[in-house]
Amino acid sequence: MLTVLVVAAASASAWQPFSGATWVMEVFPIFVGLPALVVLHRRLPLTAPVYRLLALWALILALGGHYTYARVPLGFWLADLFGFARNHYDRIAHFAQGLIPAILFRELLLRWSTLRRGGWLFVVVSSMCLALSACYEFIEWGAALALGVGAREFLGTQGDV
């Protein structure tokens, strides 16, 4: 069911996105992650909560890809509700990009490594999340160099240059 939901959401987000190039860059992790999960689901089964969180992350990416992060209606609604000066949907995506991989990495390490709950598990999970985010920042930097002005939509700087 989650696979169908994610495929439907990604497909719907592809319908007349604000920027086609931005859509491709934003939903690219879905195109990599979803097939990997489908192929590996028998060999590396995850718990239902992790699959749900990964689906939520994919939905966040698909929505951000369709509108661009600066234009997601949910972000405007939150801005109005809390009196924010700008659309903070990108903050939701960044939070998800930190939290959801951390939970995934923790589950994988607890099942398939010698690490146990506690000290080193936290250090290794945190390091993996920081490495993932750093790699994504390099991708954004490369996109900014390649796209020039068009990178603003992908980066969603919204005045936070």
Q: What whole-number percentage of the chain has pLDDT above 70?
A: 91
Token digits of residue 26? 């934003």
Residue 136 to residues 34, 49, 107, 130, Cα–Cα distance (Å):
18, 24, 22, 10
Q: Model confidence at 145, in pLDDT bands (50, 70, 90)?
A: confident
pTM for the model: 0.85
Mean pLDDT score of the chain:
89
